[in-house]
Each structure stands twice: as structure tokens, then as C-alpha cells.
Amino acid sequence: MYKFNRLTEVLAVATLVLLGHPDTARAQLIFNPSSVTASIPGPGGTYGPAQISVSSASAISSLVVAAINTSDRTNWLCATPSGTTLINVYVGTGGCSGVTSTGLIANGNYSGFITVQANGAQSTQLTVSLSVGNSGGTNTVVANPSTVTFNAQTGGLVTPQRIDSHSQCHQQHQLEQWNLYRNRDADH
């Protein structure tokens, strides 16, 4: 006969109790498909709805989206329940307030996690993988002020003016402004 030490006995009993407990099987929601892989053409693009079927070993009487989190902590992901068996997943649009993909970086990859809760207790996370292309959307440059006038006499100096710009290509735009300024000075 084998002798078990006290810890092994306790773990063996706990395992048998958990596996035999009917609530253990009900604690898990099952998604079909098990995750979402989405892509948008570029920043500002949209995706969805992707319909995800939700099931469980026990009947589902209520279904809610308890939380949505993204790898970059921005608000590009949306999920809404449809009855007690479907979740609709969107990127950059959908029934969620303030959802947009305009702040995402072209050619970037992101992850999202949707916590779905059933019957007020059971909850499981649905994983979303997003790939952002480099075209489409609203990838534009906005300058403030929108127009600039330079006045100078031949051979004289031009007073520099500050232009604030915001875009996905912010660094490239600043480099182009610097080159323009440098080339203008070289011509005079």
C-alpha cells in the first residue's frame, strides 16, 4: 500500500470535489469562433460586425459585455450582445460611444480583450487581434494655422513661423518642413 503525505491527500480530495461539482462545468463560456482576427485598410478604417456565438453547459438567461480592454489603451474596439447567444464585434464603429480607429498607427498590430458575462456571474474573455494597413481611412495632415505667409526682401532674412501639425505621419511632415526651410535659406 502507498502512503500519501497530508498535502497530497488534500490536493487529491480537492481535485475530485472540483471536477465533480456541477458549477465547475458551467463556469466557462464557449465562443465560436474562439477568437476574432480583424484587419482594416488603415487608420480610420472600420470592421464588423463579426458575429460570435456564445454557449455554455448551462442555459444562458442574460449576456452582457462587462469590459473591453485594448493593448494600446485606446477606444477602437466595440462589442454588443445580441440576445443571449451572440456578441457582435466591431472595430472603429458599432454601438459603443466614442469608438474610432483614427488614432491607430498604419501597419500596426493590436490586441483587444472583451470580457463577456452570462447570468450575472460566468465570465470569459474573447481575444481580438487587429492588423492595420497603410491606406484608406482618414490619414490626413492638419496644420494650425492652415495658411502661412512669408514676407522678405531679396537677400533678407525671413522670420520663422511655427506650424503645429497632427497626423499619423507627424515626424515625416516635420522633416519635410525642416528641409523646405533649409532649402529656402540656401537659395538666398
| pLDDT confidence of residue 10 | 44
| pLDDT confidence of residue 105 | 93
| pLDDT confidence of residue 173 | 45
Domain 28-132's class?
A: mainly beta
Which residues does the chain have with pLDDT short of 50?
1-2, 4, 7-8, 10-26, 137-139, 168-176, 178-179, 182-183
With contact defined as beta carbons under 8 Å apart, do 118 and 67 qualify? no
Q: pTM of the prediction?
A: 0.60
| pLDDT confidence of residue 49 | 94
Tens digits of residue pLDDT in 93-132: 887 889 999 999 999 999 999 999 999 888 899 999 999 9
| pLDDT confidence of residue 164 | 65
User: What HEC string does the chain produce?
Assistant: CCCCCHHHHHHHHHHHHHHHCHHHHHCCEEEECCEEEEEECCCCCCEEEEEEEEEECCCCCCEEEEEEEECCCCCCEEEEEECCCEEEEEECCCCCCCCCCCCCCCCCEEEEEEEEEECCCEEEEEEEEEEECCCCCCCCCEEECCCCCCCCCCCCCCCCCCCEEECCCHHHHHHHHHHHHHHHHHHC
Q: What angle do CA 24, 30, 31 make, to 5 degrees?
A: 160
Give domain limits for the chain.
Answer: 28-132, 142-187
